[in-house]
Amino acid sequence: MGLSFRRERNSYHLPDAGAVVQVSDFPILRNVSVALRGAGDDLCRRFEAALAHYLAARRAQTWSPRSRSGSMESPVNSKPRVTGMGRDTLPSLH
């Protein structure tokens, strides 16, 4: 997509698009909410596709109470799913 952005705390301002990506997390549940505000339909569709592609390429990790060390383990017999994204990165939006 080639959009420039400026990071401020929990948001990424996309000045060329007149939009803002807001990221909020709830660490105890290991989840993240992402909201795209002020964008037109085309940007929303492109962002959704790019974000889905970015997340699908990552392996999810879930905490297992059976892990003695408290380390992260992937669930057995379940489809990987991503529950969050780092705050210092935005997906590569192509």
Give 49-78 pLDDT, tens digit per residue: 998 998 888 877 766 666 554 444 444 443
Domain count, the chain: 1
pTM of this prediction?
Answer: 0.60
Q: Where are the beta strands (DSSP E) in 1-88?
A: 6-8, 11-14, 19-26, 31-37, 62-63, 72-73
| Domain assignment present for 38 | yes
Enumerate residues 6+ apart whose C-beta is below 8 A from 64: 72, 73, 75
| Domain assignment present for 71 | no
| Domain assignment present for 30 | yes
Give residue 91's pLDDT.
55
Mean per-residue pLDDT, 36-55: 92
| Domain assignment present for 88 | no
Mean per-residue pLDDT, 1-10: 88
Helices (H) and strands (E) in the chain, counts: 1, 6
Q: What end-to-end distance do the CA atoms of the chain give, in Å?
A: 4
Residues of the domain holding 33: 6-57
Give bridge partners of residue 19 from the DSSP assignment.
Answer: 14
